[in-house]
Amino acid sequence: MSQAPTRADFDQYMVPNYAPQRAIPVRGEGSRLWDQEGREYIDFAGGIAVNGLGHCHPVLVEALTTQANKLWHLANVYTNEPALALARSLVERTFADKVYLCSSGGEANEAALKLARRWAHDHHGEHKHRIVSFSQSFHGRTFFTVSVGGQPKYSQGFGPVPGGIVHGQFNDLDSVRNLIDDDTCAVMVEPMQGEGGVIPADPAFLQGLRDLCDAFDALLIFDEVQTGAGRTGSLYAYQQYGVTPDILTSAKALGGGFPVGAMLTTDRVAPAMAIGTHGSTYGGNPLASAVALAAVGFIDTPEVLEGVKRRHDLFREHLETINRQHGVFKEIRGMGLLIGAEMAPEYEGRAKDILPLALEEGLMALIAGPNVLRMAPSLVIPEADIAEGMARLERAVARLVAGQ
């Protein structure tokens, strides 16, 4: 029998663009994981907001295994029943009239940006190509999406970035007024910045973006890759804000761990993506579509969505208790089960130091930059797991404070 892979194998065989933790999980159930040594962890990371129903949820396992015994892949010269059912489900549950399926959030955002430019080109001409985004935003790792994202560190060293992209300040409508004009084809925004620090948008800011887009005949794109599929307590965050975009992107929890992405848009905009203008080899494949269909149907229920809001309150209460004990956080913020705890000034930049300590205590968590501890657990995480996970986090924070 071959030897089990080790963490050292990553350094030997993998391109070094990641720096994973030492533990290698091999099994998961619900909000708990076990590594190669059988050690148990509570999962507050959720695969970076991907595992919306935890690990190996029976509804998703059933959908995957049933479809796996029917049909895997056809390519887009044909369509398939799960893809059509998923598209219909998303249309019926949202503002959208049309859906484009792909394999990831980066692909969904790439498609949204290309669609916006193509729509503006077809309706106004080549001059209308400018895109407004925001500092500290994150929209993916393709060269186009990483350029639209407002974190230059991700595009540095790869040569000239695509032109026509400008960045305003998140939650600062005046900064957008100074950038938007008749040459603007789209404004792209996250209803809550995830990688940028778990910062919710002000309702007036999003409404202001909608009004500016209407005034300049530009398209409003909501990147809901991280906030969508129930993460904030509604199926999509735009529904809580009451501001409707022209294009919305979705991925992560949409497939509950199976790679899938979607771009949603209206009948006004969709015709610009005509035959041959874009594509995705695996987009809309039957496996991904079947799992996503099951995930959406399970998540978009009062029981799950109201449970997200109740769990948010529990997370906040536990974090505030930890902070009263140790004083490590400046602010606790977020929506639903995307929660950020910004470090206090005396612990500036040390959120990342909590992660290995938490792992040693049996807890998996995230950061959003070096100064924000981030949590994006299963939307249905048991309340007992929240309590136990927070006890483990408290021990990790106590160790951080003691070792300062």
Residue 223 among known ligand-binding residues: yes
Q: How far apart are the first and last CA of the chain?
A: 46
CA atoms of 17 and 296, how far apart (whole Å): 32
Angle at 218 between CA 236 and CA 284, to 5 degrees: 45
Active-site residue 138, yes or no?
Answer: yes
What the block records as the tokens of 93 is 């549950």
CA atoms of 286 and 304, how far apart (whole Å): 25
Q: Are 283 and 76 in contact (CB under 8 A)?
A: yes
Residue 224 among known ligand-binding residues: yes
Residue 32 among known ligand-binding residues: no
Active-site residue 222, yes or no?
Answer: no
Residue 328 among known ligand-binding residues: no
Active-site residue 246, yes or no?
Answer: no
Out of 128, 144, 252, 300, the active site residue is 252
Residue 388 among known ligand-binding residues: no
Out of 43, 223, 300, 353, the active site residue is 223
Q: Are 193 and 137 in contact (CB under 8 A)?
A: yes
**Cα 238 to the chain's mean position, in Å?**
14
Out of 134, 138, 170, 205, the active site residue is 138
Catalytic residues, by residue number, are 138, 223, 252
Q: Which residues are annotated as a binding site for N(2)-acetyl-L-ornithine?
A: 141, 280
* Binding site residue list: 138, 141, 223-226, 280-281
Binding residues for pyridoxal 5'-phosphate: 138, 223-226, 281
